[in-house]
Copies of this chain bind each other. A is one copy, B any other.
Amino acid sequence: MTPPSSFADSLIERTRTLGHPLCVGLDPHLALIPELFQRGTMAPGDPDTVGSVEEFLEAVIDRIAGRVAIIKPQIAFFEQLGWRGMRMLDAVCRRARDAELLVLLDAKRGDIGSTADGYAAAYLTADAAMPVDAITLNPYLGFETLEPFVRAAREAGRGLFVLVKTSNPGSGDLQDRDVEGEPLFGRVADGLSRIEADLLGSKTGWSSLGVVCGATFPEQARRVRDVLPKALFLVPGYGAQGASVQDAVGSFVPGPNGLEGGVVNSSRAILFPEIARAASRATTWELALDDALGKAIDELGAAVQG
């Protein structure tokens, strides 16, 4: 059996080809689903709602396939719809992977021992119940608890994005606290160095150990980059959360086709532009989505290509 290709290599090669690091976040807020796709009451308990969201997300995937390297479904919005929401997430992820989009599941999981094994078997191993290409993880339980995910990443060619410095205003409550002269998020970054080295891709040299570093805190992101020179950055907070495009790529470094080193996520600005939400015809909706997508691609493409 040939070893699986590394997640980092796949991601970086695709972003180089496309010329931009945009990741489209799939956060299906029920209140924002475009009129064109609404069915039934749109309450979470109505099975019609699940069908409505599925139809919407499938249309989005068909529209963005070939134009971005990666999508990031936020699992909470699917769990909110109960087990039918999880079945729908499964279908959406399979459709995306069939369309050659990488899928990064934003699940922020973290647990101990055999429980962490369970999460890895759910999403990351070669025979996972609902296979995705990468997942977000929470480090609070300790570095040892990341091991089952690291093993799956190595064996099945998956990626891991560990929360380091999140984009929300209150992220400093714990992450910025001073731990013997260094903020806690820096201590987390330090602890990830060994895993970074363990998951280097043979083609690009980038590691399949990634970190989540919000665009809203560019200075902290550069600090994390110093500690983890080969880690992929998942940068949330660009667009709706108000960070600038320069801040969003602040942790990127020069590569063969411009700045590289991670992906910048945008969810709401692409999924729910005002004109797309109110569109009464499919063609209008498609044009509005294309427009929002094109704008984000152009902006990020310009930022990395200088």
Contacts and interface: CB of A to CB of B under 8 A. Distances in A.
Nearest to A185: B140
A129 to B, nearest CB: 3
A145 B143 CA distance: 23
A116 B76 contact: yes
A111 B111 contact: no
A143 B170 contact: yes
Contact of A141 (B84, B145, B166): B166
Given A82-B122, A122-B80, A170 B142 contact: yes
B129 A81 contact: yes
Counting every copy of the chain, the complex holds 2
A171 B145 CA distance: 9
B178 A174 contact: no
A119 B143 CA distance: 25
B76 A142 contact: no
A184 interface: yes
Interface stretch (A60-68, A85-93, A255-263, A278-286): A85-93
Interface in A11-40: 27, 29
A82 B94 CA distance: 13
Contact of A144 (B45, B109, B112, B173): B173
A185 B48 CA distance: 44
A121 to B, nearest CB: 5
A188 interface: yes
A65 to B, nearest CB: 23
**Most B Cβ at <10 Å: residue of A76, A110, A140, A166:** A140
Given A174-B140, A179-B178, A129 B163 contact: no
Contact of A177 (B87, B172, B187): B187
A157 to B, nearest CB: 19
Contacts of A170: 141-145
A56 interface: no
Contacts of A118: 74, 76-77, 79-80
Given A82-B122, A138-B140, A140-B140, 7 more contacts: A83-B86, A83-B130, A108-B109, A112-B171, A140-B174, A140-B175, A184-B184
The list of the 6 closest CB pairs from A to B, nearest first, reads: A144-B170, A82-B129, A142-B170, A76-B118, A142-B173, A83-B87
9 contacts: A45-B127, A80-B119, A81-B122, A81-B129, A82-B86, A83-B84, A83-B90, A85-B129, A112-B168
